[in-house]
Structure 1
Amino acid sequence: MRRVLRALGVLLILTAAVSCTEPSGADDAKSGELLRHAEPPPYERILPAPAAVRPGGAGYRLVPGTVIRTGTGSEEVRQIGERLAEQLRGPSGLPLPVVDGGAGDGILLRLDESAAELAEEGYRLESTAAAVTLTARTPAGLFYAGQTLRQLVPASGAGEVPGGTVADRPRFAYRGAMIDIARHYFTVPQVKRYLDQLAQYKINKLHVHLTDDQGWRLAVDSWPRLAEYGGVGGVGGGPGGHWTKDDYRELVEYAAERYVEVVPEIDMPGHTNAALASYPELNCDGKAPDRYTGIKVGFSSLCVSKEVTYEFVEDVLRELAALTPGRYLHIGGDEAHATPAADYAAFMKRAQEAVAGQGKTVVAWHQLAAAEPAPGAVLQWWGHDKTPAAERDRVAAAAKAGHRLILSPADRAYLDMKYDKDTALGLAWAGHVPVRRSYAWDPGTHLAGVPESAVLGVEAPLWTETIATRADLELMAFPRVLGIAELGWSPAAKLDWAAYSQRLASHGPRLTAQDIGYFRAPDVPWP
């Protein structure tokens, strides 16, 4: 009888939690304590939540003789199989050789270009007693099927892939995260580690903020002092550093192997003190300022009236475009408080023309809506609940004019905002962002006047004014970035805090097994 009452109690708590979108004080805390005992079954632990799941039937047991079969004729599929084998060997302890041929038992990778229902990045996963079959229309879909399979394999030991079928596809095309290496410098190996952590949760864009007042982090042959001088230092006066072009190429290639597109950002006309300190001629008075190690914003500006400014812009973007096979170049454009409005509009017009001249698509922060976005330009929204209505209206008007939006609301998606008043790292200008708040919004309805069709996707930025180490990065990113991953991938009908918090809690041991430090948020029922 006690077991029945306990089960009924958990059911009632789950039902009540479904209707909540914000924490509810003591009652919520009590619910969290009870929910700690209700771990979801395997197919309900998948994160991001799949579009459709049908569990049941006998599962496939992983044994020492299990192989991964990649069919024939596709080197890319074989590489996906090799990477999946590498990812599964550690937890399972099995050899998992990769072999050609698509018939037989084991883990089968099938590329079916005629499977239109799977969409560009979708997949189907079927687990039976005989085999686990991963089917996709594109290699990216196969990769994501493999990442889902990883979550169905025990965190340690061989075990069994439960019987069932997953049919899945993403809601949004752009599912991103951003890392700022300008305020505090991070090396390519450090960023690779973060990229691996993101890719397993189906993040497909890595936005790298390469330049700011505190540092210029990418070598530019035509303007070498940008990195040599402007790359020295950072917030607080640390040593700084910069990436060579080969470093950047290495990251781009590594990302592509995991179906992640690198989106580089050169922020301008503001956030440019590192460039201004490197080259006096970029300043209207011809005098270079000192390098900057603080965290204030809005005080710097390229000299809009000088033609050398546009030579600089075109040179930098030309070299960056040559290194970047992806479609986007991000040109910043936010917090240009030191640039008069007319100058800002004139500058952004020419900067956008420079991007177009390289055959790339412009991405800029949503302040571009106050100027004149070029045809096809993508705006990235970072406003929050207290952003003035006029600013919101400009962005909505841009969306109605055909511009797509990437949504990064600062009071939901900014990973550098403090979780609560006791968080040692981070800032709080957009308020505190606990894990539940970072998840409790719908990108399709978040901005008034912006239909879901205008939303390209979501992105979780991580600014590094207070973040200097790998441990800092992981503590602030995890687990909130996993919620943003789900908002970008999963159908709107699957966005439910009660269910998500259970899925997230079940990933705690997986994060620990991967040596990912994370914040044990009190609003999540960790095991």
Structure 2
Amino acid sequence: MRLFALGTLLLAFAVVAPPPAIVAHGRTAMHDLVPAPVSVRPARGAFTLRPGTAIASDDAGVAAYLAGVLRPATGYALPIRPKGAISLRLEGAPASVGPEGYQLDVTPRGVTIRARTPAGLFNGVQTLRQLLPASVESPSVRPGPWQVPAGRIVDHPRFAYRGAMLDVARHFHPVETVKRYLDRIALYKINHLHLHLSDDQGWRIAIDSWPRLATHGGSTQVGGGPGGYYTKADYREIVAHAARRHITIVPEIDVPGHTNAALASYAELNCDGVAPPLYTGVKVGFSSLCTSKEITYTFVRDVLRELAELTPGPYVHLGGDEADATSDADFATFVNRVHPMAVSLGKKVVGWHQIAAPDVRHSPGRVLQYWGLTSDDATVTRAVAGGAKVIMSPANKTYLDMKYDATTKLGTTWAALIEVRDAYDWDPGTHLAGVPESAVLGVEAPLWTETLATEKDLEHMAFPRLPAVAELAWSPRSTHDWASFRERLAAQAPRWQTLGIGFHRSPQVPWRA
């Protein structure tokens, strides 16, 4: 967490070699995809999107999403009909693509995406977006032409969990900012957004049974300022927006430490019965719920119940890191009482890897999020042997709030300086000794916001490193190749510019105009 508080390349994507007649066609958009697909086979020609093009689909939601992406820039009506030149089908995909993969076929006559689930169709649509000119992302009509290079792509993810995390506790970020972040991570096939909803500096979700958590605990942020919180309607709006992008929201209530905002809101949660003042600093490790008081467990039970009612996804994140103000015995007592509460509500518990501390019992489906700086952690290894799964978020590789280099104005440096290559050049399946790839549920890129107060701040730190982590989570290990990736990443720049994303122009990447 934080101490202060693709053979080679794309045409080794398992890329099936094209017939000799098309080798000379040169680089096309099929060579510039991020994340790298499992298999790419270019062919002659291209499909051209025209004013009369229609979309046919077995899933109305994905069809509406695709039409919504394409209509503003093209100016075309793109009606959704039983038959169309763009066809999205929940049949005919090979079994190898699994629940989230797809097969995309492009000929001069049309585009067909086949998948076994709507999520697979949606992932295929993200690839189709990247095959179109970057100007297709424009919010206003552009001249085109709108061509998709011909060929076949067969693709599926390496890991089931592909995550991004947004800290809205240190600095509050409004609903529209979160929704735009969802839109942007969806492009790179991220399927989970972990929202860090509570910390010392702010409580960001309304809880009816404990209303001062939001109204008082949510009234400030790092450095002062108004803070803010999500009403239940706000949170449902975020969840629904995510669901339309086949992204699962994972809410985090960090306990028993990182709880000053809650302690300041309700005096009875403190062992001495005295509420501390609200906190706007960045130091961590000083706060703790009173683990010996029964009211603490009533509080946690109420919060989890209301949060579970709002959250359709399978996970709830219960933090558990940097509980320096809680003794080891009290920490174990607290976790052993609280985690079963989440399980009883039908949720699987995710927590920072400290929840695997000695004397903490394993709960069914428990997931540890590893944020350490080393490649060996005996506590995590022991938990994995007991059945736990791991989300890989090593802070010196995936923490998007770390500075790129010493000249970066935003961010911090406690874990590392992380340039794009540092974020890309590691393997989640082998990173941690004693944790086999079969125990790795996935990969997540956290974005902590101690220094990030605006949406532009978020963009600058997430891009281009978030797509690098997304490729590690999606693409086969055999496609991992920095020389290939930097070229493909460079091709994303015009798309980001059209989308208005203020990204960091890393000197490691030969950015395209």
TM-score, with structure 2 as normaliser: 0.92
Q: Does 1:342 align with 2:324?
A: no
Q: Per-residue displacement from partner, 1:152-201 (whole Å, max 9, x unpaired)? A: 11122233211100000000000000000000001111100000000111
Identity percentage of aligned residues: 57
Pair 277,353 (structure 1): closer, same or farther in 2 beyond 3 Å: same
CA contact (8 A) 2:93 2:114 kept: no
Q: Does 1:183 align with 2:165?
A: no
| Counterpart Cα distance in 1 of 2:96 and 2:89 | 15
Structure 2 residue corresponding to 1:394, chosen from 343, 361, 379: 379
Deviation at 1:16, TM superposition (A): 11
Q: Secondary structure at the match of 2:254?
A: strand
| Counterpart Cα distance in 1 of 2:8 and 2:477 | 19
Q: Secondary structure at the match of 1:108?
A: strand
CA contact (8 A) 1:277 1:289 kept: yes
Deviation at 1:372, TM superposition (A): 3.0
The letter for the 2-side match of 1:177 is A
Q: Does 1:378 align with 2:367?
A: yes
| Counterpart Cα distance in 1 of 2:27 and 2:307 | 46
CA contact (8 A) 2:9 2:479 kept: no
Q: Secondary structure at the match of 2:396?
A: helix
Structure 2 residue corresponding to 1:94, chosen from 61, 64, 76: 76
Deviation at 1:50, TM superposition (A): 0.4
| Counterpart Cα distance in 1 of 2:79 and 2:89 | 17
| Counterpart Cα distance in 2 of 1:59 and 1:258 | 27
Q: Does 1:151 align with 2:130?
A: yes
Q: Which residue of 1 aligns with 2:181?
A: 194
Q: Which residue of 1 aligns with 2:110?
A: 131
The letter for the 1-side match of 2:63 is G
Deviation at 1:92, TM superposition (A): 3.3
* Correspondence 1:13-412 to 2 at 5 A: 40-70=27-57, 74=58, 77-101=59-83, 106-112=85-91, 115-156=94-135, 157-370=144-357, 371-385=360-374, 392-412=377-397
| Counterpart Cα distance in 1 of 2:394 and 2:85 | 44
Matched length = 482
Q: Secondary structure at the match of 2:169?
A: coil
| Counterpart Cα distance in 2 of 1:91 and 1:414 | 34
| Counterpart Cα distance in 2 of 1:17 and 1:374 | 41
Q: Per-residue displacement from partner, 1:252-290 (whole Å, max 9, x unpaired)? A: 011001100000000000000000000000000000000
Deviation at 1:448, TM superposition (A): 0.9
Q: Does 1:461 align with 2:446?
A: yes
The letter for the 2-side match of 1:249 is R
Q: Which residue of 2 aligns with 1:479?
A: 464
Q: Which runs of 5+ in 1 are unaligned?
A: 1-13, 19-38
Q: Secondary structure at the match of 2:199?
A: coil
CA contact (8 A) 2:264 2:277 kept: yes
The letter for the 2-side match of 1:92 is T
CA contact (8 A) 1:91 1:155 kept: no
Pair 83,114 (structure 1): closer, same or farther in 2 beyond 3 Å: closer
CA contact (8 A) 1:218 1:227 kept: yes
| Counterpart Cα distance in 2 of 1:505 and 1:127 | 24
Q: Does 1:493 align with 2:478?
A: yes
Deviation at 1:357, TM superposition (A): 1.4
CA contact (8 A) 1:207 1:263 kept: yes
Deviation at 1:225, TM superposition (A): 0.6
| Counterpart Cα distance in 2 of 1:359 and 1:159 | 46
| Counterpart Cα distance in 1 of 2:470 and 2:434 | 24
Q: Secondary structure at the match of 2:445?
A: strand
Deviates more, 1:109-118 or 1:54-63: 109-118
| Counterpart Cα distance in 2 of 1:84 and 1:166 | 18
Pair 195,85 (structure 1): closer, same or farther in 2 beyond 3 Å: same
| Counterpart Cα distance in 1 of 2:332 and 2:296 | 15
Deviates more, 1:209-218 or 1:393-402: 393-402
The letter for the 2-side match of 1:494 is T
Q: Secondary structure at the match of 2:62?
A: helix
Q: Which residue of 2 aligns with 1:447?
A: 432
CA contact (8 A) 2:8 2:479 kept: no
Q: Secondary structure at the match of 2:285?
A: coil
Deviates more, 1:89-98 or 1:469-478: 89-98
CA contact (8 A) 1:226 1:274 kept: yes
Q: Secondary structure at the match of 1:175?
A: strand
Q: Which residue of 2 aligns with 1:7?
A: none
| Counterpart Cα distance in 1 of 2:158 and 2:81 | 33
CA contact (8 A) 1:92 1:154 kept: no
| Counterpart Cα distance in 2 of 1:273 and 1:398 | 29
Q: Per-residue displacement from partner, 1:483-511 (whole Å, max 9, x unpaired)? A: 11111100000111110100100000000
Q: Per-residue displacement from partner, 1:185-241 (whole Å, max 9, x unpaired)? A: 011111000000001110000000000000000000110110011000000001101
Q: Secondary structure at the match of 1:406?
A: strand
Deviates more, 1:88-97 or 1:222-231: 88-97
Q: Which runs of 5+ in 2 are unaligned?
A: 1-5, 11-25, 136-143
Q: Per-residue displacement from partner, 1:352-378 (whole Å, max 9, x unpaired)? A: 011011111000000011133323210
Pair 520,429 (structure 1): closer, same or farther in 2 beyond 3 Å: same
Q: Over the residues paired in the alignment, what is the CA RMSD in angstroms?
A: 1.7
Q: Which residue of 2 aligns with 1:10?
A: none
* Correspondence 1:408-427 to 2 at 5 A: 408-427=393-412
More helix, by proportion = 1
The letter for the 2-side match of 1:310 is Y
Deviation at 1:447, TM superposition (A): 0.6
The letter for the 1-side match of 2:413 is A
| Counterpart Cα distance in 2 of 1:45 and 1:459 | 23
Pair 207,17 (structure 1): closer, same or farther in 2 beyond 3 Å: closer
Q: Secondary structure at the match of 2:309?
A: helix
* Correspondence 1:501-516 to 2 at 5 A: 501-516=486-501
